[in-house]
């Protein structure tokens, strides 16, 4: 039954009838599985259908793909096929609601140093705390594990943990950390880790030129603040800029260009309202607080995101692809310099798209919740 459901979702996304009534004839088409988007046609290759709550994915040098499951597993894929194996040595996680094992990234120089990086909710006294760990893969296990940074304070719940990892051209590591939901004011104080984007060296040291490193009482790793629940973080190498893509409340999801030391406003300004329809603030603009380059109202619940760099999709090159949880599609966002220009919905109703990523050989992959898919987009000539 699940295989049939998945097939139906793919066919619906292609704009076709997924299941014909008995006696009806299917219309002939040159390629019934090609999906025509605004700028190119592509097919969807469904590689796996049994994911539960996938979060992050990355590729290591031998062509192996690793996918994290929030409950604390790392699944191993080889040549687009699930090997049936999971890495041993994964750290214990505080799995509550949105918290658990989250993002995974390889070091930009992985081929030389072998480091991979995990973002996870670490079980500590008081509940869970977002931690960044680095480790190496030896055989089928994580070894040389080291927590580089552990955020504070810990919380018992599991709301608004973020959390994504990106590296910039100088190999600085940035990670996002949500404000924990019930304490939105966390985002406006520099004295705790929550509701922030952080910047550290690849070995966990705090850079001396971080914006608040010399401010008394401030957390030295903070790069930006006033961030609500950033589940998307994208480094645009061509333009040396970082996009933070975060959940608003009811409406007010945002795309921000993250700049050193800037305040992105939450909860002092927002384009959303609370989930019970009450007003969070009357203000959408305030001095000293940054404006998003785009916001969604109603909310799409944006999550893992990427920027297209591959020549396999020339018509999409430089576009942001944003996974949508609530709206269950991939948003293709066109940019004009630092401004939002246009948007297209891809693969509507494919499932809750948790992450979108580009492989080393230039193909686009996505993972979904609910429908449990790992898919690959194959461009058509």
Tell me the backbone φ, ψ of residue 302, rounded to 5 degrees. -70, 150
Kindly state whether residues 46 and 148 are assigned to the same domain: no
Q: What is the DSSP string of 201-226?
A: -TTSPPPTT-TTTTSTTS-TTEEEE-
- Looking at the DSSP bridge assignments, the partners of residue 75 are 67, 86
Predicted pLDDT of residue 381: 77
160 noted as active-site residue: yes
**Residue 10: per-residue pLDDT:** 52
Angle at the Cα of 320 (from 269 to 70), degrees rounded to 5? 80
Last residue in a domain, options 299, 319, 340:
299
Domain housing 205: 53-299
pLDDT in tens, 18-54: 333 333 444 444 577 889 999 999 999 999 999 999 9
Do 294 and 304 fall within a single domain? no
Half-sphere exposure of 288 (CA within 13 A, CB side): 5
The pLDDT confidence band at residue 12, using thresholds 50, 70 and 90, is very low
Q: What is the distance between the alpha carbons of residues 162 and 178, in angstroms, rounded to a whole number?
A: 5
47 shares its domain with 87: no
* 111 in the same domain as 157: yes
Residues 166-184 pLDDT 10s: 999 999 999 999 999 989 9
Tell me the pLDDT tens digit for each residue of 199-241.
999 999 999 999 999 999 999 999 999 999 999 999 999 999 9
CA distance 302 to 3: 26
With respect to residue 14, please indicate whether it lies within any of the assigned structural domains.
Answer: no
* pLDDT of residue 2 exceeding 90: no
Work out how many domains the chain is built from and give that number.
2
Nearest to 114 by CA among 140, 93, 134: 134
CA pair distance 153, 64, nearest whole angstrom: 36
Query: Is the domain of 167 the same as that of 286?
Result: yes
DSSP bridge partners of 312:
none
Q: Tens digits of per-residue pLDDT, 115-158?
A: 999 999 999 999 999 999 999 999 999 999 999 999 999 999 89
Quote the pTM value: 0.92
The structure tokens listed for 252 are 């007010």
Residue tagged active-site, from 160, 198, 247, 294: 160
Which run of H or of E encompasses 12? Answer: helix 2-13
- The reply to whether 47 and 57 lie within a common domain is no
Question: DSSP secondary structure string, 250-273?
Answer: BS-EEEEEE-TT-B--TTTS-S-B
| Judgement on whether residues 210 and 358 belong to the same structural domain of the protein | no
Q: Do both 191 and 76 map to the same domain?
A: yes
Q: What is the pLDDT of residues 248-289, one digit of tens each?
A: 999 999 999 999 999 999 999 999 999 999 999 999 999 999
In a domain, 337, yes or no: yes
Supply 340's token pair.
């939002």
CA-atom Rg of the chain in angstroms: 20
Q: What is the mean pLDDT of the chain?
A: 92
Q: What is the pLDDT of residues 57-110, one digit of tens each?
A: 999 977 899 999 999 999 999 999 999 999 999 999 999 999 999 999 999 999
Least Cα distance to 359 among 52, 28, 11, 45 occurs for: 45
**pLDDT score, position 117:** 98
Asked whether the beta carbons of 164 and 175 are under 8 A apart, the reply is yes
Residue that finishes a domain, picked among 299, 326, 341: 299
Residues 119 and 240 in one domain: yes
With a cut of 50, say whether residue 351 has pLDDT above it.
yes
If you search the block for the tokens 């999971």, which residue do you land on? 86
Q: How far is CA 19 from CA 5, 6, 27, 46, 169, in A?
A: 10, 12, 13, 18, 48
Neighbouring CB atoms inside 10 A of 338's CB total 9
Strand blocks (E) in 208-315: 222-225, 229-236, 241-247, 253-258, 294-296, 302-307
Which of 191, 161, 166 lies closest to 98 in space, CA to CA? 161
């Amino acid at each position: 039954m699940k295989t049939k459901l998945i097939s139906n979702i793919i066919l619906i996304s292609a704009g076709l009838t997924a299941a014909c009534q008995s006696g009806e004839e299917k219309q002939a088409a040159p390629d019934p599985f090609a999906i025509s988007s605004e700028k190119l046609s592509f097919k969807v290759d469904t590689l796996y259908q049994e994911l539960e709550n996938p979060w992050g994915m990355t590729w290591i040098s031998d062509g192996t793909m690793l996918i994290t499951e929030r409950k604390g597993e790392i699944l191993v894929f080889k040549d687009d096929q699930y090997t049936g194996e999971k890495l041993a040595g994964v750290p214990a996680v505080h799995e509550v609601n949105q918290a658990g094992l989250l993002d995974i990234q390889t070091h930009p120089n992985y081929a030389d140093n072998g480091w991979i990086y995990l973002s996870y909710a670490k079980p500590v006294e008081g509940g869970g705390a977002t931690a960044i760990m680095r480790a190496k893969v030896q055989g089928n296990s994580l070894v040389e594990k080291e927590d580089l940074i552990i955020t504070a304070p810990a919380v018992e719940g599991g709301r608004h943990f973020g959390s994504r990892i990106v590296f910039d051209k100088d190999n600085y590591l940035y990670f996002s950390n949500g404000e924990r939901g019930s304490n939105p004011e966390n985002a406006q104080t520099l004295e705790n880790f929550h509701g922030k984007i952080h910047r550290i060296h690849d070995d966990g040291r705090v850079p001396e030129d971080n914006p608040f490193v010399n401010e008394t009482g401030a957390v030295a790793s903070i790069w930006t603040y006033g961030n609500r629940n950033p589940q998307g973080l994208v480094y645009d190498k061509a333009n040396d800029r970082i996009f933070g893509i975060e959940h608003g409340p009811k409406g007010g999801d945002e795309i921000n260009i993250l700049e050193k030391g800037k305040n992105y406003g939450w909860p002092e300004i927002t384009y959303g309202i609370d989930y019970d329809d009450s007003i969070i603030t009357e203000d959408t603009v305030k001095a000293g607080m940054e404006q998003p380059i785009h916001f969604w109202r109603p909310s799409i619940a944006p999550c893992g995101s990427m920027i297209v760099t591959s020549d396999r999709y020339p018509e999409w090159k430089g576009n942001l692809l944003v996974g949508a949880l609530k709206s269950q599609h991939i948003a293709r966002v066109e940019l004009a310099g630092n401004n939002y220009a246009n948007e297209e919905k891809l693969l509507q109703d494919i499932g809750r798209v948790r992450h979108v990523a580009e492989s080393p050989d230039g193909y686009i992959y996505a993972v979904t919740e609910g429908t449990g898919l790992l898919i690959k987009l194959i461009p058509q000539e």
